[in-house]
Amino acid sequence: MTPQDASQRNAELCQRAPVVPVLVINDASKARPLAEALVAGGLPALEVTLRTPQALDAISEMAKVEGGVVGAGTLLTPNDVKAAKAAGALFGVSPGATDALLQACEDEDMPLLPGVATASEAMRLLERGYTTQKFFPAEANGGAPALKAIGAPIPQVKFCPTGGISMKNVNDYLKLSNTLCVGGSWVAPADLVEKSDWSAIEELAREAASLTV
């Protein structure tokens, strides 16, 4: 897969809904009903972070949900890419980007949304062909004003900002011309997942899906 193909597929993915849920799953038995609730609420693209021992099993369960597109977040190494793809992930997300990680995703036909924090990083990825990128950690890096400033001289790149985004500030990002969607964990709070309150999560997803880009 070329970087251009990866960027095109990720752009299409980001345009399915204004929010991509960022999920840290500690119990794989809850993965499928969680995915069903989020998809039913209008958020089909799901990012499961590889931060827990249950993550790969959770991806496998979520991959069975009709209408959902599950990806793996926190990809750090080529081995992460191979494991995520074997588990059923259809796209990848990383906090940053290394040559080894980029090459692994290209070799494995895994569309990658690579993370950047600076204009130089965005330019380097653009030079390689990645026109769809992740701005991370968004709030810690100056928030929407910083992303707007970075985007002004690099209009070729579109972003999915992630990190510290909630319903309180999401519209600040979505109104930017260089933002395709945002990543957020607020649509699946840990307490609601723990209680298996899928109806409440579906409602949060529906609220997020109604946002305008």
Measured CA to CA, the distance from residue 125 to residue 115 in angstroms comes to: 10
121, 95 contact by CB (below 8 A): no
- Look up tokens 């290394």; give the residue: 98
Measured CA to CA, the distance from residue 51 to residue 43 in angstroms comes to: 22
Q: Tell me, rounded to whole angstroms, the distance of Cα 2 from its chain centroid.
A: 19
Residue of 30, 134, 158, 202 marked catalytic: 134
Residue of 36, 47, 61, 202 marked catalytic: 47
Smallest CA-to-CA distance from 34 within 193, 182, 166 is with 193
Measured CA to CA, the distance from residue 50 to residue 192 in angstroms comes to: 20
Amino acid in position 17: A
46, 21 contact by CB (below 8 A): yes
Active site residue 175: no
- Cβ neighbours, 10 Å, residue 26: 14
CA atoms within 13 A on the CB side of 213: 18
Measured CA to CA, the distance from residue 112 to residue 93 in angstroms comes to: 6
Active site residue 202: no
Could you give the residue numbers annotated as active site?
Answer: 47, 134
